[in-house]
Amino acid sequence: MKLTPDYYLQDDVLLIARDLIGKVLCTKIKGVLTSGIITETEAYNGFPDRASHAFNGKRTPRNEQMYGPGGTAYVYFCYGIHSLFNVVTNVRDVPHAVLIRGIKPMEGIEVMLYRRGKLKEEKTLSTGPGSVSKALGIQVSHNGTDLQGNRIWIDDRGIKISQKLIQITPRIGVDYAGEAALYPYRFIVNNSLI
DNA sequence: CGTACGATCTGCT
DNA sequence: GCAGATCGTACGA
């Protein structure tokens, strides 16, 4: 079920980002299980990718986690409000990451609605990276969490997504990245099609 | 030490 | 469609 270390150590972050569509992101925070099918991801391709925090070898306390081996969580604080959850991939010192931007809620929906605060529309419960983290209870303190553990992990539950249903577009919110802002590194499948 | 800004979301217009 | 919220991080002085 749980994706193995080998999976996260793969070299092609674009392949992983696309393959993660249909996998199930799970958290168990304070004993409460919540999960959802991953419906939207973005790949961040390390050194050559101007949109990546690790562009050109940039390495700071904040993005240090990206430099570790694949299979851990890279969670950082953005826009003064949001915790954004990424999956670190590839081997040590190759700072690849996949940003999880959307899930289709599965387990613990009531809890997720509560975390999001008086939200009734299940549809918009977890679209957008900030909302995903909030619904699943992921915070910056979870940075570095091992995805083989029992707090945050990703399951393969055999859900098949036709490649035809996966839309590929440029990434969101990276206009500052020049040419890299146009790269087709975003993968998304409509919630209602799963 | 000061400052600018960001891998965003929401609510109001 | 747009502005406001809200603050850690990075970087230059």
Of chain A, the percentage scoring pLDDT greater than 90 comes to 92
Q: How far is the CA of A130 from the C1' of C2 (A)?
A: 20
Pick out the nucleotide with least CA–C1' distance to A134: B9
pLDDT in tens, A70-87: 999 999 999 999 999 999
Residue A176 belongs to what H/E stretch?
A: none
A167 dihedral zone (left: phi>0; alpha: psi -120 to 50; beta): beta
Q: Residue A180: CA atoms inside 13 Å, Cβ hemisphere, count?
A: 18
Pick out the nucleotide with least CA–C1' distance to A53: B7
Question: Chain C positions under 7 Å from a protein CB?
Answer: 5-11
The model carries a pTM of 0.96
When the pLDDT of each residue in chain A is averaged and rounded to a whole number, the result is 95
pLDDT reported for residue A192: 77
Helix axes A109-116, A129-136, angle to 10 degrees: 120
CA dist., res. A108 & res. A171, Å (int): 29
CA dist., res. A73 & res. A152, Å (int): 8
- Is residue A122 within 8 A of residue A105, CB to CB? The reply is yes
CA dist., res. A24 & res. A7, Å (int): 14
* CA A57 remoteness from chain centre: 22
Pick out the nucleotide with least CA–C1' distance to A130: B8
Token pair of A147 as six digits: 């995805």
